[in-house]
Structure 1
């Protein structure tokens, strides 16, 4: 049978007649949304840290190095699998759960990750993201001292056709409009902790904008000192000299705060994630070495 419902709706169709009563020999086809087609994890998946929970919504704390969904070589213990396992354990008595990611974070980026656990709530959250109604604030540790206390970057971003890395972006006159507002949180010895508000959500936007300012994020293999670091990391051939140059084993970018409107009508919701331990440890080491 071919479903009448849109592909990926998760709704059954019965011989092209939704709502028809089943009879002996009837064929039922259900298209499972892509994010629900998850490989069975080998062994136990890791638990999730819940930052906020309400009907239809979960906000979880994403650790660095964990992909948000299965892809490529990263098919096990992803964030969406962890959320599914959490819902199966802790929310098994709730009918109609279908957890889906409301947005994405890069594998190395840590912090707030929002999940719609019911279809209607997920659709409303996606609408807010697409309308740029969600306030997204990141903390980034960058190299060097910024030229002012705050500023706004409005450089358009597009694909970097000069790069050997297909997914790399760059500031480009014919790119997509975007805006990043930044504020210095703490100047450090040769580094700066910066707060960035995203008014658009272009691919790698914060990383591209800060690098274009001359202040790349610490540990950024793609937009830092040499994109060959990204290639060697993907191949598993980073040298000790490479690791020393990077200073951290991931980009020091953390999704610190997210503000959205509750799909259940409870008004604005603010979710915050404490700065990831590895970034905080790096800052603490800087502070200890700068003490007289």
Structure 2
């Protein structure tokens, strides 16, 4: 434990929690603390242990420390540390639902969700910090709880947690498929069937490392996408997708893999002449369903199609 963490243990605006281990059988320190503080991820608990913010019987603990009946555990939750480059910025937000625990937004095209090197501002997170100035620190940093992400040019429903507890519970819902995410897209060509399922592990493209692809070398992660035909549009089609998994670029990669890339996709579709100019791929997160992390009530949000998506459909229908 560093001298700095020693000096700050139990001091300042953080939270000191003192617990007694009650079980008859030994259990790892990190696993037990996660059970006591379910709003904290296991990775977050392990970081706190490594930083010296957990003591067992007055001695600095380790993640693998076995707890025994009667052991006293002290967990010090330091206040969140602000990111110096992350500043609140006023921007219009299309709010579909909001309460004290979460907010669901209709994200426009061209908006990056989270800051990254070379893209420090103008993101959805910057706008959220302005919209919710009292947003608590999540994951040890002063940033909103992004539960899942949408690509920069993908539009539609995205949920953000306002507390660590809501963040963990919503992420579990996505992992266990309790939360449902449905998308609409216009693709090149027409599939022969009315519906289908695409199963293919997604990993880094073997040649272009900025892209992803369906891979068969064991390096990819399992991905499953269900699709249903909504409308045939001559040389194009509109499909509705439901995800079992949430891999990076999943729908875009799977559509390209079956020979029906998404219209306007700069990475996975060849440049083809379109009746109107698009800002990016014609992919829209139309519906998001989830159980409220506090009340348990089922919440279903729908995002209307963006204007440019509607114009594309009108232009393609005129060609029929």
Common topology (TM > 0.5)? yes
Paired residues for 1:1-292 under 5 Å: 1-2=4-5, 30-32=79-81, 38-40=85-87, 45-88=90-133, 99-161=144-206, 163=207, 165-173=208-216, 174=218, 175-225=220-270, 248-290=278-320
CA distance, structure 1, for counterparts of residue 212 and residue 123 of structure 2: 25
- Give the secondary structure class of the aligned counterpart of 2:158: strand
- Give the secondary structure class of the aligned counterpart of 2:289: strand
- TM-score, normalised by the number of residues in structure 1: 0.76
CA distance, structure 2, for counterparts of residue 16 and residue 245 of structure 1: 60
C-alpha RMSD of matched pairs (Å): 3.3
CA distance, structure 2, for counterparts of residue 141 and residue 100 of structure 1: 30
For residue 62 of structure 2, what is the aligned residue in structure 1? none
Whether contact under 8 Å (1:56, 1:122) holds in the other structure is no
Give ranges in structure 1 of 5+ residues lacking alignment: 19-27, 227-241
- Give the secondary structure class of the aligned counterpart of 1:202: coil
Whether contact under 8 Å (2:276, 2:312) holds in the other structure is no
Write out per-residue CA displacement over residues 100-124 of structure 1, whole angstroms, 9 at most, x where no aligned residue.
Answer: 2111111111111100012211221
- Give the secondary structure class of the aligned counterpart of 1:61: strand
CA distance, structure 1, for counterparts of residue 137 and residue 79 of structure 2: 15
CA distance, structure 1, for counterparts of residue 109 and residue 255 of structure 2: 20
How many residues align? The count is 255
- Give the secondary structure class of the aligned counterpart of 2:97: strand
- TM-score, normalised by the number of residues in structure 2: 0.70
Deviation at 1:259, TM superposition (A): 1.0
Deviation at 1:155, TM superposition (A): 2.0
Whether contact under 8 Å (1:152, 1:179) holds in the other structure is yes
Larger Rg computed on CA atoms = 2
Write out per-residue CA displacement over residues 23-47 of structure 1, whole angstroms, 9 at most, x where no aligned residue.
Answer: xxxxx964527xx665336xx5212
Quickly say closer, same or farther: Cα 1:188–1:17, change in 2 above 3 A.
Answer: closer
Whether contact under 8 Å (2:87, 2:129) holds in the other structure is no
